[in-house]
């Protein structure tokens, strides 16, 4: 190697070193962030996820994504909300249009008994990214603004017709206003999103059956309640509602059958 080539190689080495060191630091921090995301999914490794994102923040303390992630992990780990809010405030100071951070702040405000503030943050979040609509719906519901919450649910159901959490909330709001056919429609859609292997499937069956009963569609209600009762034999709601239906129909045989079933159940669960 001649002197010119050697000098050039040294110049390249020293000029590249600072950038390489910074790139390496970022790569390490980002890997910590990715590992923390994975570990946060398991409650048993959530503490490790918090350690990893904390280390990533030590390297890049002004990264809004890292700040949000730590706030999120602390929020689902039932840590002190004061620390969660401090992280979110810093993240939002760096990026005021972070819809995820705004939505999370709305959720934290909501569980701390501040629905009005929660609603404001939810509005900001959904104006930036409509996917955070559930924060808006929950805030309105908490404030007992049920008609508005129902209207928001209905609007977003057109965009996300298979969103289970949205359908369940829409069904519950419809139940509160006794819109029984809407409850039936929502619960039927939710049943298609579950299987009989899921306990939630039978919760949905009972909700639909109750709506059928409210409309006087007893044959349909009986089918749902009887099926739920067979699959969830320790549940008391289905047989109790069935008993009332059979009494209304003056069906003495089935009244006796369900009444005996309830007595046996009560005896079995007696302390």
- The burial class, CB within 10 Å (0-12 / 13-18 / 19+), for 217 is middle
CB 36 within 8 A of CB 49: yes
Give residue-wise pLDDT tens across range 19-71: 577 889 899 999 999 999 999 999 999 999 999 999 999 999 999 999 999 99
**Which of these, 195, 170, 163, lies nearest to 185 by C-alpha position?**
170
Task: Return d(Cα 193, Cα 180) in angstroms, integer.
Answer: 20
The correct answer on CATH 1.25.40.10 for the domain covering 194-271 is yes
Q: What percent of the chain is modeled with pLDDT above 70?
A: 93
- Tell me the domain boundaries of the chain: 194-271
C-beta of residue 160 within 8 angstroms of C-beta of residue 154: no
pLDDT in tens, 125-170: 999 998 898 899 999 999 999 999 999 999 989 988 888 988 999 9
CA-CA distance, 68 to 171, in Å (whole number)?
Answer: 32
| Tens digit of each residue's pLDDT (9 = 90 or more) over 168-212 | 999 999 999 899 999 999 999 999 998 888 888 999 999 999 999
The pTM of the full predicted model, rounded to 2 decimals, is: 0.72
Nearest to 238 by CA among 205, 211, 189, 269: 205
Per-residue pLDDT, averaged over 8-16, amounts to 44
Q: Write the CA distances from 138 to 71, 101, 165, 173, 182, integer angstroms.
A: 20, 16, 11, 11, 19
């Amino acid at each position: 190697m001649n002197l010119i080539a050697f000098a050039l190689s040294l110049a390249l080495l020293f000029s590249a070193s600072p950038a390489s060191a910074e790139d390496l630091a970022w790569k390490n921090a980002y890997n910590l962030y990715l590992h923390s995301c994975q570990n946060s999914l398991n409650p048993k490794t959530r503490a490790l996820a918090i350690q990893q994102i904390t280390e990533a923040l030590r390297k890049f303390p002004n990264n809004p994504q890292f700040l949000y992630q730590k706030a999120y992990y602390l929020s689902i780990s039932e840590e002190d909300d004061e620390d969660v809010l401090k992280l979110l405030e810093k993240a939002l100071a760096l990026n005021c249009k972070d819809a995820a951070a705004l939505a999370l702040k709305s959720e934290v405000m909501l569980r701390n008994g501040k629905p009005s503030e929660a609603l404001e943050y939810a509005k900001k979040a959904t104006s930036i990214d409509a996917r955070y609509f559930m924060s808006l719906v929950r805030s309105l519901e908490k404030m007992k603004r049920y008609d508005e919450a129902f209207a928001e649910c209905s609007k977003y159901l057109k965009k996300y017709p298979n969103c289970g959490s949205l359908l369940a909330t829409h069904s519950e709001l419809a139940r509160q206003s006794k819109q029984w056919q809407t409850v039936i429609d929502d619960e039927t859609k939710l049943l298609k999103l579950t299987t009989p292997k899921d306990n939630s499937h039978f919760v949905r069956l009972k909700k639909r059956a109750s709506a059928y009963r409210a409309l006087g569609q007893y044959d349909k209600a009986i089918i749902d309640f009887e099926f739920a009762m067979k699959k969830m034999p320790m549940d008391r709601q289905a047989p109790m509602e069935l008993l009332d239906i059979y009494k209304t129909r003056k069906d003495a045989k089935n009244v006796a059958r369900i009444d005996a079933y309830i007595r046996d159940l009560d005896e079995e669960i007696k302390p």
